[in-house]
Amino acid sequence: MGTDTDEGFPQDGEGPVREVILRPFWIDSTTVTNRLFGQFVEATGYRTEAERFGWSFVFWLHLPKAKFKELVEDTVQAAPWWCKVRGAQWNAPEGPGSNLLRREDHPVVHVSWNDAAAYAGWSGQRLPTEAEWEYAARGGLEQKTYPWGDKLRPNGKHMCNIWQGEFPNHDTGDDGYAGTCPVQAFPPNGYGLFSMTGNTWEWCADWFSPIFHRTANLDNPTGPPEGSSRVTRGGSFLCHKSYCNRYRVAARSSNTPDSSTSNTSFRCALSD
């Protein structure tokens, strides 16, 4: 688990490389789709935190230019491409007027960690630990950069949904997509799991720490006992080598458990 290569981000706590023991577990082959999340909402009446807060973060190029000033309440100072859009939620990903037409098999987005945990509990599952997620993402390969090997585009073939072009101003969409894509759009890894890197970030069960794992028990680790942010893994369609080279299996990031964005989703796991 982890990496010591130069392409990593030491401040994220990607290293050191370490051997971890895991109990047997099951994990979803894809992220939870809009269709599946809709079944959860229909069965329970659940309202996501974005719905309760009244807004969520949307990437600026995905908003209609004609309505940009009308939709955007504010932007993130350090990352102005993230726009606070009132009414953006899981079934209206770009805010009022948007919908899930032809996106039923895309990953559900605008879901917080708390929302993901609620869905997992309803379905009789749980969120994967970070160690489980990385083991699954590697697909049986050891210390490879990606779920399929060390080359991002073997034989020139796109293997995941990430950014091509000049971030954050122009996405060429050379991989076929400029936003989320269907959960099975790219080939699975050696364990039959789809889009373990790219497409959307995925929530994990663990609290985030860049240093805890250096002294932690490595037998079925579950992360620090407390924290302020939860781990996210896998990168997203917005990741690019010039800015966020985190579509690698060892890369990690985090967000507060009540946060939601248009590029974060989740998949569920189950103890054997």
CATH number at residue 191: 3.90.1580.10
pLDDT digit of tens for each residue in the chain (272 aa)? 999 988 888 899 999 999 999 999 999 999 999 999 999 999 999 999 999 999 999 999 999 999 999 999 999 999 999 999 999 999 999 999 999 999 999 999 999 999 999 999 999 999 999 999 999 999 999 999 999 999 999 999 999 999 999 999 999 999 999 999 999 999 999 999 999 999 999 999 999 999 999 999 999 999 999 999 999 999 999 999 988 899 999 999 999 999 999 999 999 999 99
Question: Partners of 203 in the beta sheet?
Answer: 232
Torsion angle, CA of 197/155/141/145, rounded to 10 degrees?
Answer: -50
Question: Is position 53 within any domain?
Answer: no
φ/ψ of residue 32, rounded to 5 = -70, 130
pLDDT in tens, 73-84: 999 999 999 999
Question: Is position 74 within any domain?
Answer: no
H or E stretch at 171: strand 170-171
Question: Is position 49 within any domain?
Answer: no
pTM: 0.97
Range(s) of the domain holding residue 29: 10-34+104-271
Instruction: Tell me the residue type at 73.
Output: E
Question: Is position 60 within any domain?
Answer: no
Question: Is position 219 within any domain?
Answer: yes
How many residues in the chain?
272
Question: Is position 56 within any domain?
Answer: no
- Do the Cβ atoms of 203 and 253 come closer than 8 Å? no
- Do the Cβ atoms of 80 and 67 come closer than 8 Å? no
Torsion angle, CA of 254/235/62/85, rounded to 10 degrees?
Answer: -10
Question: Is position 94 within any domain?
Answer: no
User: If we measure between CA atoms, which residue out of 6, 8, 57 comes closest to residue 210?
Assistant: 8
What domain count does the chain have?
1
Question: Is position 222 within any domain?
Answer: yes
